[in-house]
């Protein structure tokens, strides 16, 4: 059997990192780990060809070659255009089509409509492939495959295979990814992870995790590796007592080949032992779901792990331990006040959070928040899947005030002056990393692209050289960190210029306040430096 494995592209939405990745010359951030796991679950004797449509397209010859195609969706309707175009090509060629991935959620209200949208798909293999794919393959071997396979059980991750990284073209990606945990111990009302991946979560063995790293190492990968976990400390005892000590030893034995990034909860900032292990393991950065700074907003969505903690102290403690903090922030809660925008801007700036990911609150199908808003008649179905639109109606702040404040804050976050101010604040306290990049032609090429794109051709070239000079003089050991974060500032500034154009701002302002120009702008736009 000859199988195509296809990952549809996302359109040029804000957070697809198109401009960010363009600086180092990459086509995608990480490969689709789920689809590579599916490849490993298929019979070994099958021939397999993999295409991430962000990077490469199958030729007509590839499609004619295939007997069966597996299409993985992870971002819901965001990938529809790319997926449906590929399905049309496959259908025309008579290829059997199988679809799955977390983008298909059989418990969601929209699933029936999704089945109609994907009516040309022959089979849906849903939920975790470790359970449902073997069922499909067994029926296929008997010549009696069903249209849909799903399960309410959770997979035993200790039986999950090493993803087929050998199918990849490494040069297409900025990072590789591995996985240790699926699921999270918390039940945040806005988060779909408990429904998709389980609560409190499950883990692979440490040996499995290290085997995935070893496979990447043997194939020649060096540099950034994203640990694609929902929460690295879902099982805190396992992470501290087994995983991280073994990872430190593995990294040291091989000369620290990898720099890691992972999602983790805020407890990390209160545990010096855990921070020391993360640092010694070569963690470059962690992503914290801070969400909001108002305890009332956090209580709305049961974000109890954050509600009573000092976020300034947590962020500063992590960065002083030598690990950059990236974070998720959300606006549009029922308890949000107009001052939320300035409050968030000040928090990000005083703590030197280089990469704040700001979105509006969205009620995702399959979450408690979605059910609550649906019962209250507050869901705007036209906005689902758009991070820049709130799909919750009747927000007390008012839709226009939320829209205006959001745009102002997003633009402030990625203005070069404020970005480089955050970079300097972070580098002032950051401990030098244990990982050092080995000289290579590939790394030199990336460095030259950064200097050319950001330091010569961009509007922020003055800030770039000023920041570089300060780093050389005051924190020379952090030069690799300085260069590593440059694509973020450049890429998101470019994206802001495209998404939040003058016409969009003018429409927002006119709808909210016809005489806005006659008085100082509210929120962050009119703040003094």
* Neighbour-count burial of 171, counting CB atoms closer than 10 A to its CB (0-12 exposed, 13-18 middle, 19+ buried): exposed
Exposure of 474 by Cβ count < 10 A (0-12 exposed, 13-18 middle, 19+ buried)?
A: exposed
Please confirm whether the linkage preceding 200 is cis (ω < 30° from 0). yes
Q: What is the pLDDT of residue 528?
A: 32
Query: What is the pairing mode between strands 283-291 and 202-203?
Result: unpaired
- Phi/psi for 323 (5° steps) reads -125, 125
Looking from the CA of 87 toward its CB, the CA atoms found within 13 Å total 21
Q: How far apart are CA 326 and CA 353, in angstroms?
A: 6
Question: What is the reported pLDDT for 387?
Answer: 62
Q: In what order do the strands lie in the sheet with 2-7?
A: 47-52, 2-7, 68-72, 96-100, 123-125, 148-149
The secondary structure of 12-76 as a DSSP string is: S-GGG-HHHHHTTT-SBSS--HHHHHHHHHS-TTSEEEEEETTT----HHHHHH-SEEEEE-SSG
Determine if the pTM surpasses 0.75: yes
* Dihedral angle sign, alpha carbons of residues 371, 374, 379, 384: positive
d(CA 422, CA 418): 6
List CB contacts of 354: < 8 A, sequence separation 6 or more.
324, 326, 419, 422, 423, 426, 485, 488, 489
How much is the pLDDT for 509? 55
Neighbours of 75 (CB within 10 A): 17
Q: Which residue positions in the chain have pLDDT lower than 50?
A: 503, 507, 513-529
Handedness of CA 57, 43, 169, 101 (dihedral sign): positive
Q: How far apart are CA 168 and CA 497, in angstroms?
A: 33
Residues whose CB is less than 8 angstroms from the CB of residue 143 and which lie 6 or more positions away in sequence, other chains included:
none
What are the backbone angles phi and psi of residue 308, rounded to the nearest 5°? -110, 15
How many angstroms separate the Cα of 354 from the Cα of each of 76, 329, 419, 481?
Answer: 28, 13, 7, 11
Torsion over CA of 225, 227, 228 and 231, rounded to 10 degrees?
-150
The confidence score (pLDDT) of residue 527 equals 34
- The token pair that represents 100 in the structure block: 């799955």
């Amino acid at each position: 059997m000859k199988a195509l494995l296809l990952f549809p592209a996302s359109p040029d939405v804000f957070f697809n990192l198109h401009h960010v990745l363009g600086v180092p010359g990459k086509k995608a951030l990480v490969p689709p780990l789920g689809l590579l796991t599916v490849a490993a679950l298929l019979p070994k004797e099958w021939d397999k060809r993999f295409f991430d449509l962000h990077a490469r397209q199958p030729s007509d010859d590839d499609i004619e070659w295939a007997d069966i195609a597996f299409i993985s969706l992870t971002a819901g309707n965001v990938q529809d255009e790319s997926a449906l175009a590929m399905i049309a090509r496959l259908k025309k060629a008579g290829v059997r089509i199988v679809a799955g991935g977390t983008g298909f959620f059989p418990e969601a209200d929209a699933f029936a409509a999704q089945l109609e949208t994907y009516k040309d798909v022959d089979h849906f293999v849903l939920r975790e492939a470790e359970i449902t794919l073997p069922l499909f393959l067994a029926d296929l071997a008997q010549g009696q495959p069903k249209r849909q396979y799903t399960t309410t059980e959770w997979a035993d991750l200790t039986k999950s295979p090493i993803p087929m990284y050998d199918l990849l073209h490494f040069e297409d990606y900025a990072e590789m990814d591995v996985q240790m945990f699926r699921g999270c111990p918390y039940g945040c009302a806005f988060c779909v992870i408990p429904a998709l991946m389980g609560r409190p979560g499950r883990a692979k063995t440490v040996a499995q995790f290290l085997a995935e790293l070893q496979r990447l190492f043997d194939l020649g990968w060096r540099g950034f590796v994203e640990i694609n976990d929902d929460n690295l400390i879902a099982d805190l005892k396992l992470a501290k007592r087994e995983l991280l000590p073994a990872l430190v030893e593995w990294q040291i034995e091989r000369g620290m080949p990898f720099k890691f990034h992972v999602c983790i909860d805020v407890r990390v900032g209160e545990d010096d032992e855990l921070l020391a292990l993360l640092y010694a393991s070569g963690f470059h950065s962690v992503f914290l779901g801070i969400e909001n700074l108002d305890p009332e907003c956090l209580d709305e969505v049961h974000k109890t792990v954050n509600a009573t903690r000092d976020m300034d102290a947590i962020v500063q403690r992590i960065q002083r331990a030598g690990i950059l903090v990236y974070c998720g922030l959300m606006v549009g809660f029922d308890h949000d006040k107009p001052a939320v925008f300035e409050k968030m801007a000040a928090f990000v700036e005083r703590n030197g959070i280089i990469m704040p990911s700001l979105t509006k609150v969205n009620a995702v199908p399959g979450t408690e928040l979605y059910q609550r808003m649906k019962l209250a008649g507050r869901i705007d179905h036209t906005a689902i899947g758009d991070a820049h639109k709130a799909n919750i109606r009747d927000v007390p702040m008012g839709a226009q005030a939320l829209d205006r404040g959001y745009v102002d804050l997003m633009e402030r976050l990625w203005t070069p002056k404020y970005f480089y101010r955050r970079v300097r604040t972070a580098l002032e306290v950051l401990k030098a990393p244990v990982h050092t990049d080995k000289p290579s032609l590939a790394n030199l090429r990336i460095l030259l692209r950064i200097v050319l794109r950001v330091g010569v051709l961009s509007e922020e070239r003055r800030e770039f050289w000023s920041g570089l000079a300060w780093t050389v003089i005051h924190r020379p050991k952090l030069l690799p960190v300085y260069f590593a974060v440059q694509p973020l500032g450049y890429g998101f500034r470019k994206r802001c210029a495209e998404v939040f154009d003058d016409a969009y701002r003018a429409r927002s302002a006119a709808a909210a306040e016809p005489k806005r120009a006659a008085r100082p702008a509210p929120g962050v736009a009119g703040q003094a430096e």
